[in-house]
Structure 1
């Protein structure tokens, strides 16, 4: 069986992570995820992330690094998550989302994340806390 990659974007800006609330399909509606989507044939995962964030949120983003791990979504579909930096634009919900929130690391548990996104969200939160601590330490 061919496995297709769904790329999720841990989109970070000013020390916060973007969460997107699903509006469809019905079984996922109301739960939160990292925005993204399926990589197309011949498209790198980084290219897919840039395209998906442009299509879903209307922003330009720069992929930074992959969060280790992959999470099965259904047979033949796995989730890979990349951290990304917001380059330009103001994220707005478009097709599959009805609300967006920028969450600080201590707010990540305030929304009901999809199960498969939880490990990557936890790692993104750890990285945001580490970056904030480094920025607050003079001379580092």
Structure 2
């Protein structure tokens, strides 16, 4: 049996000065619509995870960042619709601009503890636990 196609995805836990993290709500018409997720997206061929995240955050939130400000903190591995999702989570504390929902229906700043009460994609759930361990 051939191995499923690997889907490489990057996401970010943007932390503000109060320790809250920015989540975005998936829009109607998309898979897992209505669920809260970390901002991010697919890594394009030839792109590093950090470059992909910088591109995705500019497209999705209208912010800019330096890739040197991204620190990897966790990953998740999940089967997903005939493929296998590998989700790399980075933390970001410095960026330029005010995040705006360009593709999501809503943005929300929440504490890691508050994330436990929100509906999230299965791959994001273990990442919440990693954030909880960071304090």
TM-score normalised according to structure 1 size: 0.79
Q: Distance in 1 between matches of 2:45 and 2:89?
A: 18
Candidates 101, 105, 110, aligned match of 1:98: 105
Question: Unmatched 5+ residue regions in structure 2?
Answer: none
- Offset, 1:109: 2.1
- Offset, 1:106: 2.9
Segment drifting more, 32-41 vs 76-85: 76-85
- Corresponding position of 2:86: 78
Going by fraction, where is strand more abundant, 1 or 2?
1
1:70–1:76: structure 2 CA closer, same or farther, 3 Å change rule?
closer
Q: Distance in 2 between matches of 1:114 and 1:58?
A: 23
Q: Distance in 2 between matches of 1:87 and 1:10?
A: 12
Question: Unmatched 5+ residue regions in structure 1?
Answer: 130-140
Candidates 123, 136, 140, aligned match of 2:130: 123
Going by fraction, where is helix more abundant, 1 or 2?
1
- Corresponding position of 2:45: 41
Deviations 1:80-112 (A, max 9, x none): 2112223111111112x1001111233222321
Equivalent runs, 1:1-140 vs 2, <5 Å = 2-14=5-17, 15-61=19-65, 62-74=69-81, 75-95=83-103, 97-127=104-134, 129=135
TM-score normalised according to structure 2 size: 0.82
Pairwise CA RMSD: 1.9
1:2–1:106: structure 2 CA closer, same or farther, 3 Å change rule?
closer
